[in-house]
Chains A and B, each alone.
Chain A
Amino acid sequence: MANEVRLIQMAEPLSPPRLLPSGDAAITVEFSRTIDDAANRRVLALDRLIAAEPIAGITETVPTYRSLLVHYDPVQISFDALGERILARAAKALPTETGTRRWRIPVTYGGEHGIDLEDVAKALQTTPDEIVARHVAGDYRVAMIGFTPGWSYLSGLETFLHMPRRKDPRLLTPAGTISIGGIQTGVQCLAGPSGWHLLGRTPVRTYQLHRDPTFLLEPGDAITFTAIDAKTFAEQDRAAEAGAFVAELVTP
Protein backbone atom coordinates (compact mmCIF):
# COMPACT_ATOMS: atom_id res chain seq x y z
CA MET A 1 0.00 0.00 0.00
CA ALA A 2 2.75 2.39 0.99
CA ASN A 3 4.55 1.59 -2.24
CA GLU A 4 1.44 2.36 -4.23
CA VAL A 5 1.13 5.80 -2.63
CA ARG A 6 4.75 6.56 -3.45
CA LEU A 7 4.24 5.54 -7.07
CA ILE A 8 1.28 7.84 -7.43
CA GLN A 9 3.26 10.73 -5.97
CA MET A 10 6.15 10.10 -8.32
CA ALA A 11 3.86 9.96 -11.31
CA GLU A 12 2.60 13.48 -10.61
CA PRO A 13 3.82 15.71 -13.41
CA LEU A 14 6.52 18.23 -12.46
CA SER A 15 5.33 21.80 -12.93
CA PRO A 16 6.77 23.12 -16.19
CA PRO A 17 9.49 25.81 -16.00
CA ARG A 18 9.00 29.24 -17.62
CA LEU A 19 10.82 29.78 -20.92
CA LEU A 20 12.20 33.34 -20.99
CA PRO A 21 13.91 34.72 -24.11
CA SER A 22 17.49 35.92 -23.52
CA GLY A 23 17.96 37.36 -26.99
CA ASP A 24 17.80 35.28 -30.17
CA ALA A 25 20.46 32.75 -29.15
CA ALA A 26 19.65 31.78 -25.54
CA ILE A 27 16.68 30.68 -23.43
CA THR A 28 16.44 31.14 -19.67
CA VAL A 29 14.62 28.08 -18.34
CA GLU A 30 13.30 29.39 -15.02
CA PHE A 31 12.16 27.02 -12.26
CA SER A 32 11.76 29.62 -9.50
CA ARG A 33 12.17 33.33 -8.92
CA THR A 34 13.77 32.87 -5.51
CA ILE A 35 16.67 30.86 -4.06
CA ASP A 36 15.01 27.53 -3.69
CA ASP A 37 16.87 24.27 -3.13
CA ALA A 38 14.21 22.15 -4.85
CA ALA A 39 14.32 24.44 -7.90
CA ASN A 40 18.12 24.28 -7.97
CA ARG A 41 17.96 20.47 -7.95
CA ARG A 42 15.60 20.57 -10.92
CA VAL A 43 17.98 22.97 -12.73
CA LEU A 44 20.84 20.53 -12.21
CA ALA A 45 18.68 17.55 -13.19
CA LEU A 46 17.69 19.22 -16.49
CA ASP A 47 21.33 20.16 -17.09
CA ARG A 48 22.38 16.51 -16.62
CA LEU A 49 19.59 15.21 -18.83
CA ILE A 50 20.48 17.61 -21.67
CA ALA A 51 24.13 16.50 -21.35
CA ALA A 52 23.04 12.84 -21.51
CA GLU A 53 20.51 13.34 -24.32
CA PRO A 54 21.81 16.31 -26.33
CA ILE A 55 19.51 18.48 -28.46
CA ALA A 56 21.04 19.54 -31.80
CA GLY A 57 21.67 23.28 -31.84
CA ILE A 58 22.43 23.72 -28.13
CA THR A 59 25.92 25.17 -27.77
CA GLU A 60 26.27 25.24 -23.97
CA THR A 61 24.24 25.26 -20.76
CA VAL A 62 24.80 27.37 -17.64
CA PRO A 63 23.10 26.21 -14.42
CA THR A 64 22.28 28.92 -11.85
CA TYR A 65 20.31 28.89 -8.58
CA ARG A 66 16.91 28.99 -10.13
CA SER A 67 17.27 28.67 -13.88
CA LEU A 68 19.20 26.93 -16.61
CA LEU A 69 20.52 29.27 -19.30
CA VAL A 70 20.60 27.37 -22.59
CA HIS A 71 22.77 28.93 -25.31
CA TYR A 72 21.92 27.77 -28.85
CA ASP A 73 22.55 28.49 -32.49
CA PRO A 74 19.43 30.06 -34.05
CA VAL A 75 20.69 28.96 -37.47
CA GLN A 76 20.16 25.35 -36.36
CA ILE A 77 17.02 25.56 -34.24
CA SER A 78 14.32 28.15 -33.52
CA PHE A 79 13.20 29.44 -30.12
CA ASP A 80 9.84 27.68 -30.47
CA ALA A 81 11.23 24.30 -31.56
CA LEU A 82 13.94 24.32 -28.88
CA GLY A 83 11.48 25.49 -26.20
CA GLU A 84 9.21 22.53 -26.92
CA ARG A 85 12.08 20.06 -26.66
CA ILE A 86 13.36 21.62 -23.43
CA LEU A 87 9.91 21.39 -21.84
CA ALA A 88 9.73 17.71 -22.77
CA ARG A 89 13.13 17.10 -21.15
CA ALA A 90 12.15 19.16 -18.06
CA ALA A 91 9.05 17.02 -17.54
CA LYS A 92 11.18 13.90 -17.11
CA ALA A 93 14.34 15.36 -15.51
CA LEU A 94 14.00 14.02 -11.97
CA PRO A 95 16.32 15.37 -9.29
CA THR A 96 18.63 12.66 -7.95
CA GLU A 97 21.55 12.43 -5.57
CA THR A 98 23.23 9.53 -7.33
CA GLY A 99 26.69 10.22 -8.64
CA THR A 100 27.23 13.25 -6.41
CA ARG A 101 30.89 13.95 -5.77
CA ARG A 102 31.87 15.18 -2.32
CA TRP A 103 34.89 17.40 -1.68
CA ARG A 104 36.52 18.34 1.61
CA ILE A 105 37.99 21.83 1.32
CA PRO A 106 40.59 23.07 3.83
CA VAL A 107 40.11 26.60 5.20
CA THR A 108 42.13 28.73 7.55
CA TYR A 109 39.64 30.90 9.42
CA GLY A 110 40.00 34.38 10.91
CA GLY A 111 43.00 36.64 11.39
CA GLU A 112 44.48 38.12 8.22
CA HIS A 113 42.86 35.31 6.20
CA GLY A 114 39.31 36.06 7.37
CA ILE A 115 39.16 39.69 8.41
CA ASP A 116 35.38 39.72 9.05
CA LEU A 117 35.21 36.68 11.37
CA GLU A 118 35.20 38.72 14.60
CA ASP A 119 32.66 41.22 13.29
CA VAL A 120 30.39 38.41 12.12
CA ALA A 121 30.63 36.81 15.59
CA LYS A 122 29.76 40.15 17.24
CA ALA A 123 26.83 40.75 14.89
CA LEU A 124 25.48 37.28 15.62
CA GLN A 125 26.22 37.66 19.35
CA THR A 126 28.54 34.69 19.64
CA THR A 127 32.23 33.81 19.51
CA PRO A 128 34.48 33.42 16.45
CA ASP A 129 35.03 29.76 17.46
CA GLU A 130 31.28 29.16 17.37
CA ILE A 131 31.04 30.70 13.87
CA VAL A 132 33.87 28.45 12.64
CA ALA A 133 32.34 25.37 14.29
CA ARG A 134 28.99 26.02 12.64
CA HIS A 135 30.51 26.79 9.22
CA VAL A 136 32.63 23.62 9.33
CA ALA A 137 29.62 21.52 10.42
CA GLY A 138 27.65 22.52 7.32
CA ASP A 139 26.83 20.22 4.42
CA TYR A 140 26.87 22.31 1.26
CA ARG A 141 26.21 21.90 -2.44
CA VAL A 142 27.57 23.88 -5.41
CA ALA A 143 24.37 25.62 -6.55
CA MET A 144 26.12 27.51 -9.33
CA ILE A 145 29.49 28.76 -10.53
CA GLY A 146 29.50 32.22 -11.97
CA PHE A 147 30.56 35.84 -12.19
CA THR A 148 34.29 35.11 -12.49
CA PRO A 149 36.07 31.79 -13.20
CA GLY A 150 35.61 29.26 -10.40
CA TRP A 151 33.47 31.49 -8.10
CA SER A 152 31.34 28.74 -6.52
CA TYR A 153 28.05 29.70 -4.82
CA LEU A 154 27.06 27.11 -2.21
CA SER A 155 23.61 26.37 -0.86
CA GLY A 156 23.03 24.78 2.56
CA LEU A 157 24.20 27.57 4.90
CA GLU A 158 22.43 27.12 8.25
CA THR A 159 19.92 29.83 9.17
CA PHE A 160 21.98 30.98 12.16
CA LEU A 161 24.71 32.20 9.79
CA HIS A 162 22.41 34.12 7.44
CA MET A 163 23.52 37.76 7.32
CA PRO A 164 22.78 40.68 5.01
CA ARG A 165 25.62 41.58 2.65
CA ARG A 166 27.92 44.51 3.43
CA LYS A 167 26.52 47.94 2.61
CA ASP A 168 29.82 48.88 0.99
CA PRO A 169 31.18 46.06 -1.15
CA ARG A 170 34.97 45.74 -1.10
CA LEU A 171 36.65 46.40 -4.43
CA LEU A 172 39.34 43.79 -3.80
CA THR A 173 39.15 40.59 -1.79
CA PRO A 174 41.85 37.91 -1.83
CA ALA A 175 42.01 34.82 -4.05
CA GLY A 176 40.65 31.74 -2.25
CA THR A 177 38.33 33.72 0.01
CA ILE A 178 35.63 31.76 1.87
CA SER A 179 32.75 34.07 2.71
CA ILE A 180 29.09 34.27 3.65
CA GLY A 181 26.48 36.61 2.16
CA GLY A 182 22.72 36.52 2.60
CA ILE A 183 21.70 32.86 2.84
CA GLN A 184 24.74 31.61 0.90
CA THR A 185 28.36 30.77 1.41
CA GLY A 186 30.96 30.75 -1.32
CA VAL A 187 34.40 29.74 -2.54
CA GLN A 188 35.99 32.56 -4.51
CA CYS A 189 38.94 31.68 -6.73
CA LEU A 190 40.36 34.89 -8.17
CA ALA A 191 40.96 38.14 -6.30
CA GLY A 192 38.15 40.56 -7.01
CA PRO A 193 35.29 42.67 -5.65
CA SER A 194 32.85 41.21 -3.11
CA GLY A 195 30.11 42.40 -0.80
CA TRP A 196 30.21 39.25 1.34
CA HIS A 197 31.71 38.71 4.82
CA LEU A 198 35.18 37.15 4.69
CA LEU A 199 35.54 34.21 7.11
CA GLY A 200 38.74 32.63 5.85
CA ARG A 201 40.83 31.48 2.92
CA THR A 202 41.40 28.17 1.19
CA PRO A 203 44.57 27.20 -0.66
CA VAL A 204 42.33 25.32 -3.14
CA ARG A 205 42.24 26.76 -6.67
CA THR A 206 38.82 26.05 -8.16
CA TYR A 207 40.23 27.46 -11.44
CA GLN A 208 43.85 26.95 -12.43
CA LEU A 209 45.34 27.10 -15.89
CA HIS A 210 47.65 24.29 -17.04
CA ARG A 211 46.07 21.87 -14.53
CA ASP A 212 43.84 18.96 -15.50
CA PRO A 213 41.05 19.66 -14.83
CA THR A 214 41.29 23.44 -15.09
CA PHE A 215 38.01 23.72 -13.14
CA LEU A 216 37.88 21.61 -10.00
CA LEU A 217 34.23 21.88 -8.95
CA GLU A 218 31.06 21.10 -10.91
CA PRO A 219 27.59 22.47 -10.21
CA GLY A 220 25.89 19.89 -7.97
CA ASP A 221 29.07 18.77 -6.16
CA ALA A 222 28.73 18.34 -2.37
CA ILE A 223 31.16 20.34 -0.21
CA THR A 224 32.31 20.21 3.42
CA PHE A 225 34.95 22.46 4.98
CA THR A 226 37.74 21.50 7.35
CA ALA A 227 39.67 23.99 9.48
CA ILE A 228 43.46 24.19 9.05
CA ASP A 229 46.03 26.42 10.72
CA ALA A 230 47.93 29.21 8.99
CA LYS A 231 51.12 27.11 8.70
CA THR A 232 49.23 24.30 6.91
CA PHE A 233 47.61 26.91 4.69
CA ALA A 234 51.05 28.21 3.64
CA GLU A 235 52.29 24.68 2.84
CA GLN A 236 49.15 23.71 0.92
CA ASP A 237 49.13 27.04 -0.89
CA ARG A 238 52.58 26.25 -2.32
CA ALA A 239 51.45 22.75 -3.30
CA ALA A 240 48.32 24.15 -4.95
CA GLU A 241 50.38 26.73 -6.83
CA ALA A 242 52.38 23.80 -8.25
CA GLY A 243 49.16 22.15 -9.45
CA ALA A 244 47.99 19.98 -6.52
CA PHE A 245 44.22 19.88 -5.88
CA VAL A 246 44.68 20.17 -2.07
CA ALA A 247 40.92 19.63 -1.83
CA GLU A 248 40.16 16.04 -0.89
CA LEU A 249 37.71 14.01 -2.96
CA VAL A 250 35.81 12.12 -0.24
CA THR A 251 33.40 10.23 -2.48
CA PRO A 252 33.67 10.07 -6.25
Chain B
Amino acid sequence: MSKLVVTSIGPASSVQDGGRPGSQRYGLVPSGAMDRLSLAAANTLVGNELLAAAVEIGPFGAAFTARGGAVRVGLAGASRNADIGGRPVAFDSSATLAEGETLNLGFARGGSFSYLAIEHGIEGEPMFGSLAVNARAGLGSPYPRPLQSGDELKTQAASGAAERRIELPVAADAPIRIVFGPQDDEFAEDSKKLFIESEWKISATSDRMGYRLEGPVIRHLDGHNIVSDGTVTGSIQVPGNGQPIVLMPDRGTSGGYPKIATVITADFGRFAQISAGRPFRFKAVTMAEAQAEAIKFHELLRSLPDRLRGIEDLGLNIEALRDANVAGQAVSAVDVSTWQVAVP
Protein backbone atom coordinates (compact mmCIF):
# COMPACT_ATOMS: atom_id res chain seq x y z
CA MET B 1 0.00 0.00 0.00
CA SER B 2 1.42 3.35 -1.06
CA LYS B 3 0.60 6.54 0.76
CA LEU B 4 1.31 10.22 0.60
CA VAL B 5 2.26 11.62 4.00
CA VAL B 6 1.56 15.29 4.62
CA THR B 7 4.93 16.59 5.86
CA SER B 8 3.85 20.24 6.05
CA ILE B 9 0.68 22.12 5.11
CA GLY B 10 -0.93 25.53 5.68
CA PRO B 11 -4.52 26.37 6.65
CA ALA B 12 -7.45 26.10 4.21
CA SER B 13 -6.20 22.79 2.83
CA SER B 14 -8.54 19.80 2.75
CA VAL B 15 -9.68 16.81 0.73
CA GLN B 16 -12.38 17.92 -1.72
CA ASP B 17 -14.24 16.39 -4.66
CA GLY B 18 -17.46 17.13 -6.58
CA GLY B 19 -19.30 17.44 -3.24
CA ARG B 20 -22.46 15.82 -1.87
CA PRO B 21 -25.56 17.47 -3.37
CA GLY B 22 -28.98 16.07 -2.48
CA SER B 23 -29.37 16.85 1.25
CA GLN B 24 -29.69 20.63 1.23
CA ARG B 25 -33.35 20.20 2.28
CA TYR B 26 -31.94 18.93 5.61
CA GLY B 27 -29.48 21.79 6.00
CA LEU B 28 -26.46 19.85 4.69
CA VAL B 29 -24.48 21.89 2.18
CA PRO B 30 -22.74 20.00 -0.67
CA SER B 31 -19.21 21.42 -0.07
CA GLY B 32 -16.73 20.28 -2.76
CA ALA B 33 -13.89 21.96 -4.64
CA MET B 34 -13.65 25.76 -4.85
CA ASP B 35 -12.39 25.47 -8.47
CA ARG B 36 -13.92 22.48 -10.25
CA LEU B 37 -12.05 22.96 -13.52
CA SER B 38 -8.69 22.75 -11.73
CA LEU B 39 -9.85 19.74 -9.67
CA ALA B 40 -10.94 18.02 -12.88
CA ALA B 41 -7.67 18.89 -14.67
CA ALA B 42 -5.57 17.45 -11.81
CA ASN B 43 -7.64 14.25 -11.83
CA THR B 44 -7.50 13.93 -15.63
CA LEU B 45 -3.68 14.05 -15.52
CA VAL B 46 -3.57 10.80 -13.52
CA GLY B 47 -6.54 9.06 -15.19
CA ASN B 48 -9.07 9.57 -12.38
CA GLU B 49 -12.75 10.47 -12.69
CA LEU B 50 -13.09 14.22 -13.29
CA LEU B 51 -14.48 15.09 -9.86
CA ALA B 52 -12.72 12.42 -7.76
CA ALA B 53 -11.35 13.44 -4.36
CA ALA B 54 -8.04 15.33 -4.40
CA VAL B 55 -6.14 17.61 -2.05
CA GLU B 56 -7.24 21.24 -2.26
CA ILE B 57 -4.21 23.25 -1.12
CA GLY B 58 -4.73 26.78 0.25
CA PRO B 59 -2.47 29.76 -0.53
CA PHE B 60 0.47 28.66 1.65
CA GLY B 61 3.16 26.10 0.92
CA ALA B 62 2.92 22.36 1.47
CA ALA B 63 5.04 19.21 1.26
CA PHE B 64 4.12 15.55 0.75
CA THR B 65 6.30 12.45 1.05
CA ALA B 66 5.70 9.10 -0.66
CA ARG B 67 5.83 6.06 1.66
CA GLY B 68 5.33 2.37 1.02
CA GLY B 69 5.96 2.73 -2.71
CA ALA B 70 5.91 5.24 -5.56
CA VAL B 71 2.99 7.69 -5.81
CA ARG B 72 1.93 9.43 -9.02
CA VAL B 73 0.26 12.83 -8.74
CA GLY B 74 -1.36 15.46 -10.98
CA LEU B 75 -0.99 19.17 -10.21
CA ALA B 76 -3.34 21.92 -11.40
CA GLY B 77 -4.90 25.18 -10.23
CA ALA B 78 -2.92 28.13 -8.84
CA SER B 79 0.67 27.51 -9.92
CA ARG B 80 3.56 27.32 -7.45
CA ASN B 81 7.24 26.59 -7.42
CA ALA B 82 7.31 22.83 -7.21
CA ASP B 83 10.01 20.21 -7.02
CA ILE B 84 10.42 16.55 -6.18
CA GLY B 85 13.72 16.07 -4.38
CA GLY B 86 15.11 19.15 -6.15
CA ARG B 87 13.79 18.15 -9.61
CA PRO B 88 11.50 20.95 -10.90
CA VAL B 89 7.90 19.90 -11.56
CA ALA B 90 5.49 21.87 -13.73
CA PHE B 91 1.88 22.64 -12.92
CA ASP B 92 -0.80 21.25 -15.24
CA SER B 93 1.26 18.07 -15.46
CA SER B 94 1.72 14.77 -13.69
CA ALA B 95 4.81 13.58 -11.84
CA THR B 96 5.85 10.54 -9.83
CA LEU B 97 7.39 10.50 -6.36
CA ALA B 98 9.62 7.47 -5.76
CA GLU B 99 9.38 5.85 -2.31
CA GLY B 100 10.79 8.31 0.23
CA GLU B 101 10.81 11.31 -2.12
CA THR B 102 9.18 14.61 -1.11
CA LEU B 103 7.10 16.95 -3.28
CA ASN B 104 7.69 20.54 -2.15
CA LEU B 105 5.15 23.21 -3.10
CA GLY B 106 5.72 26.96 -2.60
CA PHE B 107 3.14 29.69 -2.08
CA ALA B 108 0.31 29.98 -4.63
CA ARG B 109 0.96 32.42 -7.48
CA GLY B 110 -1.86 34.01 -9.45
CA GLY B 111 -4.58 32.27 -7.47
CA SER B 112 -5.45 30.79 -4.11
CA PHE B 113 -6.05 27.07 -4.52
CA SER B 114 -4.06 24.28 -6.14
CA TYR B 115 -5.19 20.70 -6.59
CA LEU B 116 -3.07 17.62 -6.04
CA ALA B 117 -4.74 14.51 -7.45
CA ILE B 118 -3.37 11.08 -6.65
CA GLU B 119 -3.41 8.32 -9.27
CA HIS B 120 -5.99 5.63 -8.27
CA GLY B 121 -7.59 8.20 -5.94
CA ILE B 122 -7.54 8.75 -2.17
CA GLU B 123 -8.82 5.87 -0.04
CA GLY B 124 -11.64 6.86 2.30
CA GLU B 125 -15.17 6.19 3.45
CA PRO B 126 -17.62 8.25 1.38
CA MET B 127 -20.53 9.85 3.26
CA PHE B 128 -23.48 10.75 1.02
CA GLY B 129 -21.26 9.70 -1.88
CA SER B 130 -18.41 12.11 -1.16
CA LEU B 131 -15.10 12.37 0.69
CA ALA B 132 -15.29 16.20 0.75
CA VAL B 133 -14.46 17.79 4.09
CA ASN B 134 -17.26 19.73 5.83
CA ALA B 135 -15.78 20.19 9.29
CA ARG B 136 -18.93 21.74 10.83
CA ALA B 137 -21.02 18.70 9.89
CA GLY B 138 -18.27 16.25 10.92
CA LEU B 139 -17.98 14.99 7.38
CA GLY B 140 -14.98 14.18 5.22
CA SER B 141 -12.63 11.26 4.79
CA PRO B 142 -9.95 10.15 5.57
CA TYR B 143 -10.12 13.09 8.02
CA PRO B 144 -13.31 15.11 8.78
CA ARG B 145 -11.26 18.32 9.09
CA PRO B 146 -8.61 20.34 7.22
CA LEU B 147 -5.34 18.46 6.67
CA GLN B 148 -2.52 18.62 9.22
CA SER B 149 1.13 17.57 9.20
CA GLY B 150 1.43 13.84 9.74
CA ASP B 151 -1.86 12.96 8.01
CA GLU B 152 -1.68 10.02 5.60
CA LEU B 153 -3.47 9.72 2.26
CA LYS B 154 -3.59 6.06 1.33
CA THR B 155 -3.61 4.97 -2.30
CA GLN B 156 -2.30 2.29 -4.64
CA ALA B 157 1.21 2.09 -6.07
CA ALA B 158 1.99 4.27 -9.10
CA SER B 159 1.24 2.61 -12.43
CA GLY B 160 4.47 3.75 -14.03
CA ALA B 161 2.51 5.37 -16.87
CA ALA B 162 4.25 8.08 -18.90
CA GLU B 163 3.84 11.53 -17.40
CA ARG B 164 1.33 13.85 -19.04
CA ARG B 165 0.61 17.53 -19.26
CA ILE B 166 -2.75 19.12 -19.99
CA GLU B 167 -3.52 22.09 -22.22
CA LEU B 168 -6.04 24.37 -20.58
CA PRO B 169 -7.51 27.56 -22.02
CA VAL B 170 -5.66 30.55 -20.60
CA ALA B 171 -7.78 31.91 -17.73
CA ALA B 172 -8.95 35.34 -18.87
CA ASP B 173 -8.47 38.26 -16.49
CA ALA B 174 -12.01 39.33 -17.43
CA PRO B 175 -14.75 40.58 -15.06
CA ILE B 176 -16.66 37.97 -13.03
CA ARG B 177 -20.03 37.50 -14.68
CA ILE B 178 -23.24 37.53 -12.61
CA VAL B 179 -26.96 37.35 -13.17
CA PHE B 180 -29.09 39.64 -11.00
CA GLY B 181 -31.48 38.09 -8.51
CA PRO B 182 -33.16 36.55 -6.63
CA GLN B 183 -33.67 39.69 -4.48
CA ASP B 184 -32.26 42.47 -6.67
CA ASP B 185 -35.64 44.23 -6.25
CA GLU B 186 -34.55 44.93 -2.63
CA PHE B 187 -32.01 47.40 -4.09
CA ALA B 188 -32.43 50.71 -5.95
CA GLU B 189 -31.25 50.90 -9.58
CA ASP B 190 -28.32 53.14 -8.59
CA SER B 191 -27.21 50.56 -5.97
CA LYS B 192 -27.21 47.89 -8.66
CA LYS B 193 -25.25 50.21 -10.93
CA LEU B 194 -22.74 50.89 -8.14
CA PHE B 195 -22.33 47.15 -7.62
CA ILE B 196 -21.56 46.58 -11.31
CA GLU B 197 -19.44 49.66 -11.93
CA SER B 198 -17.21 49.50 -8.85
CA GLU B 199 -13.93 47.81 -8.23
CA TRP B 200 -14.03 45.16 -5.48
CA LYS B 201 -11.47 43.35 -3.37
CA ILE B 202 -11.77 40.10 -1.42
CA SER B 203 -11.16 40.54 2.31
CA ALA B 204 -8.50 38.48 4.06
CA THR B 205 -11.20 37.25 6.50
CA SER B 206 -12.77 35.11 3.77
CA ASP B 207 -13.01 31.33 3.92
CA ARG B 208 -14.74 28.32 2.32
CA MET B 209 -18.11 29.53 3.70
CA GLY B 210 -18.00 33.02 2.24
CA TYR B 211 -15.81 35.62 0.54
CA ARG B 212 -16.31 39.05 2.08
CA LEU B 213 -16.04 41.88 -0.43
CA GLU B 214 -14.58 45.33 0.23
CA GLY B 215 -15.79 48.28 -1.82
CA PRO B 216 -18.53 50.91 -1.82
CA VAL B 217 -21.51 50.48 0.52
CA ILE B 218 -24.48 48.88 -1.27
CA ARG B 219 -27.68 50.19 0.33
CA HIS B 220 -30.96 48.31 0.63
CA LEU B 221 -34.27 49.90 -0.25
CA ASP B 222 -36.06 48.64 2.83
CA GLY B 223 -33.84 47.16 5.52
CA HIS B 224 -31.53 44.17 5.37
CA ASN B 225 -33.65 41.49 7.04
CA ILE B 226 -35.64 39.22 4.80
CA VAL B 227 -37.28 35.94 5.70
CA SER B 228 -34.62 33.23 5.31
CA ASP B 229 -34.68 31.45 1.99
CA GLY B 230 -32.43 29.05 0.11
CA THR B 231 -28.89 29.89 -1.03
CA VAL B 232 -26.68 28.60 -3.84
CA THR B 233 -22.92 28.55 -4.22
CA GLY B 234 -22.19 31.95 -5.73
CA SER B 235 -25.12 33.79 -4.07
CA ILE B 236 -24.08 37.41 -3.37
CA GLN B 237 -25.84 38.48 -0.18
CA VAL B 238 -25.70 42.00 1.22
CA PRO B 239 -25.83 42.29 5.04
CA GLY B 240 -26.61 45.48 6.97
CA ASN B 241 -23.14 47.02 6.55
CA GLY B 242 -23.59 47.04 2.75
CA GLN B 243 -20.45 44.99 2.10
CA PRO B 244 -21.46 41.96 0.01
CA ILE B 245 -20.57 38.37 0.91
CA VAL B 246 -20.29 35.78 -1.86
CA LEU B 247 -21.38 32.38 -0.57
CA MET B 248 -18.82 29.63 -1.18
CA PRO B 249 -19.15 25.79 -1.18
CA ASP B 250 -19.36 25.49 2.66
CA ARG B 251 -22.16 28.14 2.93
CA GLY B 252 -25.27 27.82 5.10
CA THR B 253 -28.10 26.30 3.04
CA SER B 254 -30.41 29.19 3.98
CA GLY B 255 -29.81 32.84 4.70
CA GLY B 256 -31.70 35.92 5.79
CA TYR B 257 -29.95 38.73 3.88
CA PRO B 258 -31.13 39.99 0.48
CA LYS B 259 -29.17 38.45 -2.41
CA ILE B 260 -28.48 41.03 -5.11
CA ALA B 261 -26.99 38.66 -7.68
CA THR B 262 -25.36 35.27 -8.30
CA VAL B 263 -21.97 34.42 -9.85
CA ILE B 264 -22.49 32.32 -12.98
CA THR B 265 -21.44 28.65 -12.92
CA ALA B 266 -18.79 29.09 -15.61
CA ASP B 267 -17.00 31.87 -13.67
CA PHE B 268 -17.28 30.54 -10.12
CA GLY B 269 -13.93 28.72 -10.04
CA ARG B 270 -12.17 31.75 -11.50
CA PHE B 271 -13.81 33.91 -8.83
CA ALA B 272 -12.77 31.49 -6.05
CA GLN B 273 -9.15 31.81 -7.25
CA ILE B 274 -8.99 35.63 -6.91
CA SER B 275 -6.38 36.43 -4.25
CA ALA B 276 -7.32 38.57 -1.24
CA GLY B 277 -6.68 42.25 -1.94
CA ARG B 278 -6.52 41.98 -5.72
CA PRO B 279 -9.03 44.31 -7.42
CA PHE B 280 -11.66 42.86 -9.75
CA ARG B 281 -15.03 43.78 -11.24
CA PHE B 282 -18.39 42.15 -11.88
CA LYS B 283 -20.30 42.16 -15.15
CA ALA B 284 -24.03 41.49 -15.51
CA VAL B 285 -25.13 39.03 -18.20
CA THR B 286 -28.54 37.71 -19.24
CA MET B 287 -29.83 34.33 -18.15
CA ALA B 288 -29.51 33.10 -21.74
CA GLU B 289 -25.81 34.06 -21.82
CA ALA B 290 -25.17 32.54 -18.39
CA GLN B 291 -26.79 29.26 -19.41
CA ALA B 292 -24.92 29.16 -22.73
CA GLU B 293 -21.67 29.65 -20.75
CA ALA B 294 -22.69 26.89 -18.30
CA ILE B 295 -23.11 24.50 -21.25
CA LYS B 296 -19.71 25.54 -22.67
CA PHE B 297 -18.14 25.01 -19.23
CA HIS B 298 -19.68 21.53 -19.04
CA GLU B 299 -18.24 20.75 -22.47
CA LEU B 300 -14.83 22.05 -21.40
CA LEU B 301 -14.84 19.66 -18.42
CA ARG B 302 -15.78 16.75 -20.67
CA SER B 303 -13.04 17.69 -23.15
CA LEU B 304 -10.25 17.46 -20.57
CA PRO B 305 -9.12 13.90 -21.44
CA ASP B 306 -8.67 15.05 -25.06
CA ARG B 307 -6.40 17.84 -23.87
CA LEU B 308 -3.74 15.52 -22.46
CA ARG B 309 -0.32 15.66 -24.13
CA GLY B 310 2.96 13.84 -23.61
CA ILE B 311 5.55 15.73 -21.58
CA GLU B 312 8.18 15.01 -24.27
CA ASP B 313 6.20 16.95 -26.92
CA LEU B 314 7.16 20.12 -25.15
CA GLY B 315 10.89 20.14 -25.84
CA LEU B 316 10.41 19.27 -29.51
CA ASN B 317 8.24 22.27 -30.32
CA ILE B 318 11.13 24.21 -31.94
CA GLU B 319 8.78 26.26 -34.09
CA ALA B 320 6.92 27.68 -31.09
CA LEU B 321 10.17 28.28 -29.24
CA ARG B 322 11.57 30.29 -32.20
CA ASP B 323 8.33 32.33 -32.43
CA ALA B 324 8.44 33.09 -28.75
CA ASN B 325 12.06 34.24 -28.95
CA VAL B 326 11.27 36.46 -31.93
CA ALA B 327 8.55 38.05 -29.84
CA GLY B 328 11.26 38.93 -27.35
CA GLN B 329 9.88 36.93 -24.44
CA ALA B 330 12.26 35.35 -22.00
CA VAL B 331 11.12 31.81 -22.53
CA SER B 332 13.24 29.03 -21.17
CA ALA B 333 12.79 25.60 -22.64
CA VAL B 334 13.85 24.18 -19.29
CA ASP B 335 11.47 26.00 -16.96
CA VAL B 336 8.26 24.36 -18.12
CA SER B 337 6.19 26.24 -15.55
CA THR B 338 6.57 29.51 -17.48
CA TRP B 339 6.25 27.92 -20.87
CA GLN B 340 3.11 28.90 -22.75
CA VAL B 341 2.19 26.00 -24.99
CA ALA B 342 1.29 26.81 -28.57
CA VAL B 343 -2.33 25.87 -29.18
CA PRO B 344 -2.54 23.38 -32.06
Contacts and interface: CB of A to CB of B under 8 A. Distances in A.
A78 B288 CA distance: 8
Interface in B137-184: 137-139, 179-183
A228 B60 CA distance: 51
B25 interface: yes
B287 interface: yes
Interface of B: 21-28, 127, 136-139, 179-183, 226-232, 234-235, 252-255, 259, 262-265, 287, 290-291, 293-295, 298
A144 B228 contact: yes
A185 interface: no
A252 interface: no
B235 A23 contact: yes
Contacts of A24: 179, 262, 264-265, 287, 290-291, 293-294
A56 B21 CA distance: 16
A218 to B, nearest CB: 8
A146 B252 contact: yes
Contacts of A61: 25
6 contacts: A22-B259, A62-B230, A67-B230, A147-B253, A148-B27, A190-B136
B291 A79 contact: yes
Contacts of A111: none
A162 to B, nearest CB: 15
A20 interface: yes
Contact of A35 (B136, B227, B262): B227
Given A23-B234, A75-B294, A145 B287 contact: no
A150 interface: yes
A29 to B, nearest CB: 10
Given A59-B21, A65-B227, A209-B127, A150 B26 contact: yes
A138 interface: no
A24 B292 CA distance: 9
Given A25-B294, A147-B228, 19 more contacts: A21-B262, A22-B231, A22-B262, A23-B232, A23-B262, A24-B264, A60-B25, A63-B25, A64-B228, A65-B227, A67-B230, A69-B229, A71-B21, A145-B27, A146-B27, A149-B26, A149-B28, A150-B27, A209-B127
Interface string A195-224: 000000000000101000011000100000
